[in-house]
Amino acid sequence: MITTPAPRAARPPVQRTAPVLRRRLVGAYVELTIDAPEIAERTEPGQFVAFAVGGPTSAHLLRRSIAISTAGEGAVTVVVSAAGPGSTWLTERQVGDALDVVGPLGRGFPIPPPVTPALLVGGGYGSAALVGLAARLREQGTHVVAVAGAATESRLCSVPDLTRLADVVAVTTDDGTAGRRGLVTAAVEEFLSDAGVVYACGPMGMLRAVSDAATARDVPCYVAVEESMACGIGVCMTCVLPVVGEDGRTRFSRSCTEGPVFGGDRVRFADVGTLPWDVVGADAMGVTRP
Amino acid sequence: MITTPAPRAARPPVQRTAPVLRRRLVGAYVELTIDAPEIAERTEPGQFVAFAVGGPTSAHLLRRSIAISTAGEGAVTVVVSAAGPGSTWLTERQVGDALDVVGPLGRGFPIPPPVTPALLVGGGYGSAALVGLAARLREQGTHVVAVAGAATESRLCSVPDLTRLADVVAVTTDDGTAGRRGLVTAAVEEFLSDAGVVYACGPMGMLRAVSDAATARDVPCYVAVEESMACGIGVCMTCVLPVVGEDGRTRFSRSCTEGPVFGGDRVRFADVGTLPWDVVGADAMGVTRP
Amino acid sequence: MTVVDAGIDMSTALGRVAIPSPVLTASGCSAFGQELEPFVDLSAIGAVVTKSVQLRPRSGRPTPRMAETPSGMLNSIGLQGPGIDGLLADDLPWLAERGARAFVSIAGTRVEDFAELAERLRGAPGVLGLEVNISCPNVESRGEVFACDPAAASDVIAAVRAAADPAHPVYAKLSPDVTDIVGVARAVTDAGADGLSMINTLLGLVIDPDTMRPVLGGVTGGLSGPAIRPVALRCVWQVHQALPEVPILGMGGIRSGLDALQFVLAGASAVSVGTAVFNDPSAVARVHDELAGALAQRGFAGIGEAVGHAHRAAA
Amino acid sequence: MTVVDAGIDMSTALGRVAIPSPVLTASGCSAFGQELEPFVDLSAIGAVVTKSVQLRPRSGRPTPRMAETPSGMLNSIGLQGPGIDGLLADDLPWLAERGARAFVSIAGTRVEDFAELAERLRGAPGVLGLEVNISCPNVESRGEVFACDPAAASDVIAAVRAAADPAHPVYAKLSPDVTDIVGVARAVTDAGADGLSMINTLLGLVIDPDTMRPVLGGVTGGLSGPAIRPVALRCVWQVHQALPEVPILGMGGIRSGLDALQFVLAGASAVSVGTAVFNDPSAVARVHDELAGALAQRGFAGIGEAVGHAHRAAA
Ligand SMILES: Cc1cc2nc3c(=O)[nH]c(=O)nc-3n(C[C@H](O)[C@H](O)[C@H](O)COP(=O)(O)OP(=O)(O)OC[C@H]3O[C@@H](n4cnc5c(N)ncnc54)[C@H](O)[C@@H]3O)c2cc1C
Ligand SMILES: Cc1cc2nc3c(=O)[nH]c(=O)nc-3n(C[C@H](O)[C@H](O)[C@H](O)COP(=O)(O)OP(=O)(O)OC[C@H]3O[C@@H](n4cnc5c(N)ncnc54)[C@H](O)[C@@H]3O)c2cc1C
Ligand SMILES: Cc1cc2nc3c(=O)[nH]c(=O)nc-3n(C[C@H](O)[C@H](O)[C@H](O)COP(=O)(O)O)c2cc1C
Ligand SMILES: Cc1cc2nc3c(=O)[nH]c(=O)nc-3n(C[C@H](O)[C@H](O)[C@H](O)COP(=O)(O)O)c2cc1C
Ligand code: FES
Ligand code: FES
């Protein structure tokens, strides 16, 4: 394995009621900035927050996890895509509305020494999660190349921010409505040779492709995964993935507290949704070596 | 029995999405006016509407029944008191928000010949339900006396409207913060001798007292009751009261479709919440004549 | 949702009797149909499943009869109703005149009551079949609910099947409050049930924090609505898996076409919409339209193909 | 809600062991307590009820492991956990160091497994007692769940009671998916249970309308959350009515102090907060405060007086 697992965040999360300070449409998404100083001051790039949805009459009990795009000056910014009822409700919040939020949650991206050139790869709203990271890397003088891809122009995200922060930015769309036509992975191949570390956030298929490409070239790659989460804080065990630990053994690891940032080479993407025999404790489930 | 049961409404209800046109605080209540022409044109004084509450993420399945205060010019006005989660949600609606509403529901107040002097008695937000009636009676030249009572000033309702529409208005509060100190019933006693018909809307205790007083003087009295309703349209049988029919037999009658307006002398107030042996079908429940 | 009208074949059957739509009302949630007329074309829906009727008129229980619960409600109506005479005199003719099909729910506290009701309903106008509500206390067995005892449940169904018009399909309505619903399903099917209605309400209780007493006059009541949908789907799934040839009328928390689709995929060939009608009086018609759209979007030519599909896809 | 701190006596007991608060976590809904530390003072709550542990470490089931449902959720975790060795080595010492009480949930697929777990937990630091999760398939009886069979359930409880530290109260955790919960309660109490935890999840199913297959890898899963609260309250009510002297740890959909109050009034002397923690990580502490306020507002001097009050008020 090339990667070292991301360390635990330095500070624990808090739960707060945070008013919406700003709301902005960004292509197909809604960007919300909330007033949450104690969350902002604790945030490390790559962490996420969890919002209660639907207000006091809600039938939706579970929080929705949303990656933190940027955190600073007392505020936290997120980009939300209206997928189902919970995220749709979030995108409908207006300035002044109060949100019940827990964060920052999970582990951030490990930060490389300043001299290591970094390649950041975002897919869809996944690019938002890389903005804080890009800022942090730029701050310490790291050379940053960013690739933002999406199915179509309206589903691109954070391109202006990344353009401002990165040394090089490439945009790809599957349908060619913006940037180069094609998948992000094509652009990634091109920049990989100059990269010392890769960070990726986006759909699972993309994470897998980016991680495979980087690992094949011996470049450490960190991915921020998106697994269905019931609690977001590590107590329910719904969000697990088969991840290879430092001892070489695979465990079902919680993406909320042991992730969402994992070494890409450590995530057994092909086995997600299955129970491989060599996962620790699979034997007790009756799964034996084939 | 002095009263004839209220007849069915002339026109059936409709279900519509109605935007809020106006929102106004009235003491402890919120008055909402909604844009619902098809409901407005069908409304008879005394009918009610039923609102879905909590929006698309709501855990509250049941509609909330709210009396219609006035209906006209394409709009319906209601006065809502924030009691539990559903009514609180209603009071939080803003101009432009869309409400899912069914109405008009139930039976209206039977209208007397113009020459019959009418006494209208409202308790708390119950006074709102009398405004449309007062307007209708005034239109046909009936002499109208209105008594509006409440526990305290902030819980009075529709006093300006009733003052405009009625020939005489009396206000009472239990704590004396407005009008005369005391219960509405004291004022009622005073006006009863000149009344040819009484209409009352308010808490059950008040309805019973007003109805008893009127009936004792042989004045027909119609009350609009408030029973817990699951459907509001007559299909669930949750909202029943023991009511004496024209054949003299008591039935568990649905307050949503056979009411909410009942002849006060026909409602067996003392037996509400019990199963008297002489209710039609009580024998099949194992309740026998004592 | 966009409703795709791709000429989906929505006709299905209750037992061997064809119906034009797989979406029906649920017993006790649409009375005898009259009140839905302003909102729904009663002749276009699968059938009106009438409020469970007994031999004699019943007052039902004292109020309070309901409590709202998270995504559901508790009721304790106590089967208020006109009795079989009233049903035959007023309600069935009214429905028949309008061309609406009545799937008549019958209830009783003795096996003979059920049989007598079935007998009385032979040849009644507009009656399509019988749904037997066995979630009633059995007076001959210290009040144990028929549906909770496979033997008692079978006795009722056998008696009804024998007494009923042979052309009337007889559906047994099962309670989820049992350790082994497949066992009950098997027993009543062996006794002659032509189909199964699943599920009736779950037994529940709510305490009023103000009075500090149970809210309902009857202490416990029946829990219904979307809250119970996962339990209902599990029952339908288990029974269809064990008895794939037995038709199922699925219900429990159906509110949308996609909810109905889940029941169909799990094995129901028709569905009832109950509590959702209280939220949306036109729910039965809306669910029909949404279900048709959902089936079309998924490439089904008709509802028939979709019944039990979730089991087959596994193979 | 205004929390009235009127010096309400919130101390209660699990069996004969005193605890300072009647509000506990629920097994499987707060892992082993660590992750709640930023949100809750673990030494102030009644106890941390730990995730059910088995003899060996378990991976749990493949994902997806959950589906959100109206006012609830379905889960199929498959008891992922470190096994008893891990628990003894890491989790219990961690809790003990912080002065938190551990009510250890144990699970197995054979009677002997349960007994061995109880034996291993004798004298372990910080252990207050055992909650026996009998909602597991019994490998010796074709996978029938222990909790659904009074005899199998009693066997487990008798074996655990015999093997456990005599100072440890043993609570049997009951499943609502039975025809007669009072019968199961009576059987396990006769077998030596010091108390009853009620209820575990209801068996449910959700089908994904896109894949047209069950959402969960394990097909069915456990339904929890406010949706099931009326069922849980009914179970507590029935069992307390039949066995008023048996202590009950009530749970199922508790989200607020008034929800907890309902359980106490119905007969629970303590409560667990499960799924609500996913909505609000500080729920356990909040429910304690709200319950204290609610009891004070109603004139109770302590929680003890309120236990079962809804039954007494009837008289
Ligand atoms: C670490 C993390 C970061 C995320 N960041 C973002 C972000 O920046 N912007 C954004 O728009 N979305 C983000 N998501 C996805 C977002 O959480 C889901 O889209 C959202 O939960 C869907 O909720 P819903 O009510 O709209 O959909 P529903 O389908 O109704 O959700 C039902 C349940 O499934 C869960 N669920 C459904 N889809 C997902 C998913 N893709 N990932 C996780 N859980 C899911 C929900 O949380 C909910 O519990 C992130 C998810 C995770 C785990
Ligand atoms: C015919 C009629 C006319 C009404 N007119 C008005 C009005 O003009 N203004 C107004 O503010 N309120 C009115 N109400 C009362 C109003 O419907 C209830 O206050 C409201 O339903 C309470 O809902 P909630 O969610 O706030 O309370 P909750 O206590 O959470 O309600 C729980 C359930 O109980 C029912 N319920 C609770 N209290 C009542 C009640 N008093 N009457 C009927 N059902 C109840 C609710 O509808 C709901 O189904 C009327 C009720 C009826 C039946
Ligand atoms: C108010 C009410 C009354 C009911 N009455 C009956 C009844 O008379 N007979 C019957 O078999 N089921 C009755 N039921 C159960 C429903 O028919 C249905 O089985 C159950 O509510 C689940 O479906 P739902 O969640 O769609 O309501 C009643 C349900 C409710 C809510
Ligand atoms: C994700 C999850 C995991 C659970 N794991 C366990 C478990 O390991 N052992 C157990 O006895 N109960 C387990 N339960 C059941 C809960 O302890 C509780 O009995 C049930 O969820 C009802 O309470 P609630 O509605 O407050 O969650 C689990 C519940 C959930 C939601
Ligand atoms: S979401 Fe609960 S453990 Fe990760
Ligand atoms: S509220 Fe349903 S019948 Fe009256």
Judge whether D253 is annotated as a binding position: yes
Average of pLDDT values for B258-280? 96
Alpha carbon distance A124, A207 (integer Å): 12
Distance between CA atoms of D252 and D231, rounded to whole angstroms?
Answer: 8
What average pLDDT does this structure show over B220-230? 97
As a whole-number percent, the residues of chain C with pLDDT over 70 amount to 97
Question: Are residues B238 and C77 in contact, defined by beta-carbon separation less than 8 angstroms?
Answer: yes
pLDDT at C6: 59
Strand C248-250 to C270-273 pairing: parallel
Express each pLDDT in B165-199 by its tens digit. Answer: 999 999 999 999 999 999 999 899 999 999 999 99
Q: What are D94-123's pLDDT values in tens digits? A: 999 999 999 999 999 999 999 999 999 999
pLDDT at B78: 98
**Tokens read off for C152:** 């008692």
Question: A58 CA to chain C: closest CA distance, Å?
Answer: 9
pLDDT at C8: 92
Calculate the dihedral angle through the C-alpha atoms of B255, B257, B260, B266, rounding to the nearest 10 degrees: -70
Residue C2: pLDDT over 60: no
Which chain D residue has the Cα nearest residue A230? Answer: D278
**CB within 8 A of C211, min separation 6: which ones?**
D313
Name the β-bridge partners of D196.
Answer: D172, D248
Rounded average pLDDT over C249-254: 98
**D29 among known catalytic residues:** no
User: How far does CA B139 lie from the centroid of its chain?
Assistant: 20
The minimum CA-CA distance between A102 and chain D, rounded to whole Å, is 8
CA distances from A8 to B86, B172, C50, C182 (A): 43, 66, 61, 49
C77 Cβ inside 6 Å of ligand 3: yes
- Kindly tell me if the per-residue pLDDT of C314 is higher than 70: no
> What confidence tens digit (pLDDT) does each residue in A155-199 have?
999 999 999 999 999 999 999 999 999 999 989 999 999 999 999
Query: How close is the nearest chain A Cα to the Cα of C229, in Å?
Result: 13
Residues with CB under 6 A from ligand 1: A 48, 62, 64-67, 78-81, 83-88, 125, 128, 226-229, 260; D 68
Own/partner long-range contacts of C142-151 (Cβ < 8 Å, ≥24 apart) = C145/C175, C145/C177, C147/C173, C147/C174, C147/C175, C147/C177, C147/C178, C147/C184, C147/C200, C148/C175, C148/C177, C148/C178, C148/C184, C148/D179, C148/D180, C150/C183, C150/C184, C150/C186, C150/C187, C150/C188, C151/C187
Integer Cα distance of D84 and D170 in angstroms: 17
What are the residue ranges in chain A where pLDDT is below 50? none
Point out the ligand 1 atom lying closest to the alpha carbon of residue A81: 11
C313 — pLDDT class (breaks 50, 70, 90): low
Question: CB neighbours of C86 closer than 8 A, spacing ≥ 6?
Answer: C57
CA distance C232 to C291: 18
Is C207 marked as binding a ligand? Answer: no
Is the pLDDT confidence value at D269 over 60? yes
Question: CA A200 → CA A42, A147, A185, C62, D223, distances in Å?
Answer: 22, 9, 11, 63, 35
Q: Measuring CA to CA, which residue among B64, B100, B94 is closest to residue B81?
A: B64
How far apart CA A214 and CA A205 sit, in angstroms, is 14
The nearest alpha carbon in chain C to B283 belongs to C58
Q: How far apart are CA C294 and CA C259, in angstroms?
A: 10
Which chain B residues have a beta carbon less than 8 Å from that of C31?
A: 234-237
Half-sphere exposure of B50 (CA within 13 A, CB side): 26
Backbone angles phi, psi at D133, to 5 degrees: -85, 95
Chain B: list its partners (3+ Cβ pairs within 8 Å): A, C, D
Q: Is there a binding annotation on residue D252?
A: yes
Backbone φ, ψ for residue A201 (5° rounding): -145, 130
d(CA B126, CA B135): 16
Is the pLDDT confidence value at D4 over 90?
Answer: no
Q: Ligand 4 pocket: which of D29, D114, D206 to mutate (most atoms <8 Å of CB)?
A: D29
Does the structure show a pLDDT above 90 at B6?
A: yes
Looking at the complex, report in whole angstroms how far the Cα of residue D155 sits from the nearest Cα belonging to chain B.
Answer: 41
**Nearest CA owner, ligand 3 atom 28:** C28
Q: Which ligand is nearest to the CA of D230?
A: 4
**Per-residue confidence (pLDDT) for residue B171, from 0 to 100:** 96
Q: Which residue of B has its CA nearest to C225?
A: B61
Q: How far is CA C98 from CA C40, C47, C51, C53, C88, in A?
A: 12, 12, 18, 21, 15
Tell me the chain B residues in contact with residue A56 when contact means C-beta distances shorter than 8 Å. 85, 89
pLDDT, tens digit, for every residue of D123-179?
999 999 999 999 987 777 777 899 999 999 999 999 999 999 999 999 999 999 999
D77 annotated to bind ligand: yes
Give the global pTM. Answer: 0.97
**Hey, are the CB atoms on D212 and C253 less than 8 Å from each other?**
no
> C32, C41, C73, C80: which to substitute to probe chain B, counting the most B Cβ within 10 Å?
C80
CB of residue C145 inside a 6 A radius of ligand 3: no
Separation between Cα atoms, residue C296 and residue B170, nearest integer Å? 64
Say how many Å lie between the CA of residue D227 and the centre of ligand 4. 14
In the prediction, which pLDDT does D312 show?
87
Which of A87, A254, A262 best tests ligand 1's pocket when mutated (most atoms within 8 Å of CB)?
Answer: A87
pLDDT of amino acid D1: 36
D72·C230 Cβ contact <8 A = yes
C138 annotated as ligand-binding: no
Q: Tell me the Cα Rg of chain D.
A: 18
Tell me, yes or no, if D222 comes closer than 8 A to chain B by beta carbon. no
Closest CA in chain B for residue A87: B57
Contacts of D223 in chain A (CB under 8 A): none
Strands C17-19 and D213-214: unpaired
B81 lines ligand 2 (CB under 6 A): yes
CA-CA-CA-CA dihedral for A229, A230, A232, A237, to nearest 10: -80
- Kindly tell me if the per-residue pLDDT of C278 is higher than 60: yes
Residues C45 and C21: their CA atoms lie apart, in Å, by: 6
Pocket perturbation via mutation, ligand 2, pick of B93, B228, B256 by most ligand atoms within 8 A of CB: B228
pLDDT in tens, C19-77: 999 999 999 999 999 999 999 999 999 999 999 999 999 999 999 999 999 999 999 99
Are the Cβ atoms of D279 and A63 closer than 8 angstroms? yes
Write the ipTM: 0.96
**3-class SS string, chain D:** CCCCCCCCECCEEECCEEECCCEEECCCCCCCCHHHCCCCCCCCCCCEECCCECCCCECCCCCCCEEEECCEEEECCCCCECHHHHHHHHHHHHHHHCCCCEEEEECCCCHHHHHHHHHHHCCCCCEEEEEEECCCECHHHCCCEHHHCHHHHHHHHHHHHHHCCCCCCEEEEECCCCCCHHHHHHHHHHCCCCEEEECCCEEECCEECCCCEECECCECEEEECHHHHHHHHHHHHHHHHHCCCCCEEECCCCCCHHHHHHHHHHCCCEEEECCHHHHCCCHHHHHHHHHHHHHHHCCCCEHHHHCCHHHHCCC
For β-strands B197-201 and B221-224, DSSP reports them as parallel
The answer to whether the CB of B265 falls within 8 A of the CB of B3 is yes
Statement: residue C127 has pLDDT above 70: yes
| Torsion angle of C-alpha atoms C159, C162, C164, C168, degrees rounded to 10 | 110
Question: Does position D77 have pLDDT exceeding 50, yes or no?
Answer: yes
Q: What is the CATH architecture assignment of D12-61+78-205+224-311?
A: Alpha-Beta Barrel (3.20)
Banded pLDDT at B203 (limits 50, 70, 90): very high
Q: Which residue's entry shows tokens 């049903």?
A: C87
Domains of chain B, earliest start first:
14-105 (2.40.30.10)
